[in-house]
Structure 1
């Protein structure tokens, strides 16, 4: 593709607020944007930044059909670049051969995507490349339980999982007999850090170089995991860490990392999300993050410091609760709620906010179908848990 030329870009997972915001930034820069999703009603579908919406099969349950349909869209609509948002990234990367060479897939080869997505192989990759890690071990069957030698609290979670799913905090000697085992999705035991500041990052990378980056401390969050508010902070050590790691795996795509900055032991990453994360919503049209997807900028693009954004509907549902933030109370919540910029409402693009109720109704119906709660229903049919196609 010619640098600086107007492109036709297809963004997946149209229900996502990430997709909506990215569509706005790309369209503002002059690109034509289409979106797709397995749900018929999504917030991005009604954005004036989106020229066309396409309904496709659910990638989790019909991965081959999904990839063929997206590949057909690329051909019929003249798509120049596909930017996957959630874990359909892994599925598309597995079936990249279906897509014409004239279209760029904004992702890495499947071997890299899978290595980063899998929480155990990611920790192994860190060790191989000389990055310090928390103590970790794989639990593939009950036979591995007696081999665990943690003398401090540790977390247990599946190697393919995400923030909306269960993480168990375990004390040394606690029984883990409740675990069930999937040969394609084992568990990882990982040292639990109490001290230190928690940060999340979002980076746009091409060929091992970081072109856009955001670092934000964990503040308001659903059960302490899924962030609801976002404010970019300057943390040079984290940026340098991300740049060094992205180069070490020659990564192309979105990369989100969860960090602990321990006051004595330094930086540790808990896990890697080789896909879009909420950090994309911290940028504005003026930041011109669109350039990062094509590698057109020379300096790393970052959001404006001091500007707080929020998922307004999430804050309204969860932000006022005591477990949303340490020492939370309604007065501080209300102050912070009023000061933050909602990622959905945009005076230049009002329809997505107006369509929130029907969009959420579609997600709730989806959750009822699969017997999962609202938070998990949001992404349930776009998850990938290690099953090869």
Structure 2
């Protein structure tokens, strides 16, 4: 018997991240009614035929209370079946989860658990507590402590940061001085800073969905080719039963409810991966979808109070790519216009690393509007390849959190700032 899925009205509370954009594709292909709110009028989600309506909202970074009031207004003034956090707004939602679940279905753990894994220092301590492997790690709070803790080569990370923000590769004294300058000028020693021994190997990611502490869905992939900032331009699904077991341990310990992902390094001289980061959300879920594991649908079901049976293992060897990441990566590695044109040719023909691979971020054949940001990226890089880093930084926008907004959300007064407010500034897609 073929299962008939209920079509839902889903609010995606940001449209700028690659993870959010990919979730929208999966939701749209399933036939769900998708609406998006984002502080940028020109976010990636604006260029999707699957988005029925766009709402211009206050920025999470500089006005988390205003952002939450806006989301509450949308949920109370319109009917949505599910609120689906796809990036850092989950921290704010976890802080006031009871208020939101009174208006729409939502899958999140308690705030303390979310906050623990949202910060790199908290996640590192949790790994130590559970006896799970990570690179040798020191946590410091001052420049002097950092100088004493660093061993070349190392990776220095701020506790708060996503999309490769707040990461320095320190191979010598010159790199260390640069990192110290950036950390001190940015005020990062107001919080915790991690120093990890640099481990050479392949970057991998694993993502999962939990239902009240029980793991019900899992998928892992490895990086085949890097894009700008170290993100994946080409990825391939893999089988990682050990990482699955570790994620199950973490989720059970925290009583996790919703999505949870980890980053890992597979060392060149070992078959045991090391956990290096955690994201309390799904990360670019299309590779899992193509490999037969629809984690977005599973998250919808968990959000709506179902207790689904665990999904079967996804297929290994399924390759997907992000053309925009590939082009930005080519240009950022001192690529010339000729290099960019050649990369376009390889993408179009499916040659090299793209052989047998499908596009996951801008699937033009499925969603013709997604051709717009892809074409704009190509045009800008051909005009000036040096724009690659600046274009990539455009994704580090107002939909993300920083130290100040996190402190505001954590404060005792935060919930009192969420007094009802009137909004009438939503706008529809053309």
Does the CA-based 8 Å contact 1:153-1:170 persist in structure 2?
yes
> Post-superposition shift, 1:215?
1.1
1:207 is aligned to 212
1:347 is aligned to 365
1:252 is aligned to 257
> Post-superposition shift, 1:243?
1.8
Report the 3-state secondary structure (helix = DSSP H, G, I; strand = E; otherwise coil) of the residue aligned with 1:120: helix
Q: 1:68 to 1:359 in 2, by over 3 A?
A: farther
> Post-superposition shift, 1:355?
5.4
What are the equivalent positions in structure 2 for 1:250-289 lying under 5 Å apart?
250-262=255-267, 263-264=269-270, 266-284=272-290, 287-289=293-295
Does the CA-based 8 Å contact 2:260-2:279 persist in structure 1?
yes
Does the CA-based 8 Å contact 2:213-2:255 persist in structure 1?
yes
2:30 is aligned to 29
Q: 1:305 to 1:266 in 2, by over 3 A?
A: closer
TM-score by length of structure 2 reads 0.75
Q: 1:322 to 1:219 in 2, by over 3 A?
A: farther
Report the 3-state secondary structure (helix = DSSP H, G, I; strand = E; otherwise coil) of the residue aligned with 2:203: strand
Does the CA-based 8 Å contact 2:75-2:103 persist in structure 1?
no
Structure 2, gaps ≥5 residues long: 336-341, 380-388, 409-430
> Post-superposition shift, 1:93?
2.2
Q: 1:111 to 1:230 in 2, by over 3 A?
A: same
May I ask how many residue pairs the two structures share in their alignment?
372
Report the 3-state secondary structure (helix = DSSP H, G, I; strand = E; otherwise coil) of the residue aligned with 2:277: strand
Does the CA-based 8 Å contact 1:20-1:44 persist in structure 2?
yes
Of 284-293 and 105-114, more deviation after overlay is shown by: 284-293
> Post-superposition shift, 1:46?
4.5
Does the CA-based 8 Å contact 1:220-1:319 persist in structure 2?
no
2:68 is aligned to 67
Report the 3-state secondary structure (helix = DSSP H, G, I; strand = E; otherwise coil) of the residue aligned with 1:318: helix
Write the distance in 2 (CA, Å) between the matches of 1:320 and 1:48.
29
Q: 1:379 to 1:303 in 2, by over 3 A?
A: farther
Write the distance in 2 (CA, Å) between the matches of 1:245 and 1:384.
24
Write the distance in 2 (CA, Å) between the matches of 1:289 and 1:141.
40
2:311 is aligned to 300
1:228 is aligned to 233
Write the distance in 2 (CA, Å) between the matches of 1:53 and 1:302.
35
TM-score by length of structure 1 reads 0.83
1:218 is aligned to 223
Of 350-359 and 87-96, more deviation after overlay is shown by: 350-359
> Post-superposition shift, 1:303?
4.6
Write the distance in 1 (CA, Å) between the matches of 2:209 and 2:377.
28
> Post-superposition shift, 1:166?
4.7
The CA RMSD measured in Å over matched residues stands at: 3.3
Write the distance in 2 (CA, Å) between the matches of 1:359 and 1:80.
35
Q: Any idea what the Cα deviations from partners look like across 1:44-84, whole Å, max 9, x if unmatched?
A: 33433332221111110111111110111111221222111
1:365 is aligned to none
1:159 is aligned to 159
Does the CA-based 8 Å contact 1:207-1:251 persist in structure 2?
yes
Write the distance in 2 (CA, Å) between the matches of 1:283 and 1:83.
17
Write the distance in 1 (CA, Å) between the matches of 2:228 and 2:105.
37
Write the distance in 2 (CA, Å) between the matches of 1:223 and 1:185.
27
> Post-superposition shift, 1:124?
0.5
Structure 1, gaps ≥5 residues long: 362-371
What are the equivalent positions in structure 2 for 1:37-76 lying under 5 Å apart?
37-76=38-77
Does the CA-based 8 Å contact 2:158-2:188 persist in structure 1?
no
Q: Any idea what the Cα deviations from partners look like across 1:173-196, whole Å, max 9, x if unmatched?
A: 7755534143553311112212x4
| 1:96 and 2:107 matched | no
Between Structure 1 and Structure 2, which shows a larger proportion of helix residues? 2
1:364 is aligned to none
Q: Any idea what the Cα deviations from partners look like across 1:279-335, whole Å, max 9, x if unmatched?
A: 4444149654444111464232555433321111221232477699xxxx9798852
> Post-superposition shift, 1:384?
1.5
Report the 3-state secondary structure (helix = DSSP H, G, I; strand = E; otherwise coil) of the residue aligned with 1:384: coil
Write the distance in 1 (CA, Å) between the matches of 2:275 and 2:282.
17
Report the 3-state secondary structure (helix = DSSP H, G, I; strand = E; otherwise coil) of the residue aligned with 1:239: helix
Report the 3-state secondary structure (helix = DSSP H, G, I; strand = E; otherwise coil) of the residue aligned with 2:188: coil
2:113 is aligned to 112
Of 5-14 and 350-359, more deviation after overlay is shown by: 350-359
Does the CA-based 8 Å contact 1:24-1:285 persist in structure 2?
no
